[in-house]
Structure 1
């Protein structure tokens, strides 16, 4: 019963992060924060799932490593976009300038 509550909480947080990602398409920073929220909710559900079935938590460390790499890559794209265009608006960003 407790596992069901945790998985429902994880699914609610996943779908709220997905909704935030789809609704905040103007700023790159808001989209990156929504992606990190989705990754953290997936990590939470993975930890609950692996601990419920008493599996090893090694895969969770691999998942966390890849999510940190994804976050660093997103921040580097954000910094590059701000340096070249001056802001993180997608309306000001033109593919033809790159």
Structure 2
């Protein structure tokens, strides 16, 4: 169990590092956010299986993370349609 906890912490930290270092493209930021969500899900599944609870909360978490991903992709598509690219630094305002 300790290796799964260390792995999930390493995955979370690497996702946060990519999120903070690669702030030029919105798509890379969205992918790193999804990577962080997957690592949190892995950590939650390890924790819930260790204490013997059911996995109902994990289904709610997955539903919310899918909604977050769909919202992020819709914002990305909207920005690409209006501005032509997904470079964050070229926008003066998002509308």
Determine if the alignment matches structure 1 residue 88 to structure 2 residue 86. yes
Answer yes or no: is 1:8 the counterpart of 2:6: yes
Give me the TM-score of the superposition, normalised by structure 2.
Answer: 0.97
Displaced runs of 4+ in structure 1, greater than 4 A? none
1:50-61 mapped onto 2 (5 Å cutoff)? 50-61=48-59
Aligned alpha-carbon RMSD (Å): 0.9
Gapped regions of structure 1 (runs ≥ 5): none
**Structure 2 unaligned blocks of 5 or more:** none
Deviations, residues 10-61 of structure 1 (Å, cap 9, x unaligned): 0000000000000010000000000000000000000010011110100000
Partner of 1:77: 75
Q: In the aligned structure 1, how far is the partner of 2:24 from the partner of 2:36?
A: 18
Q: Secondary structure at the match of 1:91?
A: helix
**Which residue is equivalent to 1:40?**
38
Q: Which residue of 2 aligns with 1:49?
A: 47
Aligned residues: 95
TM-score after normalising by structure 1: 0.94
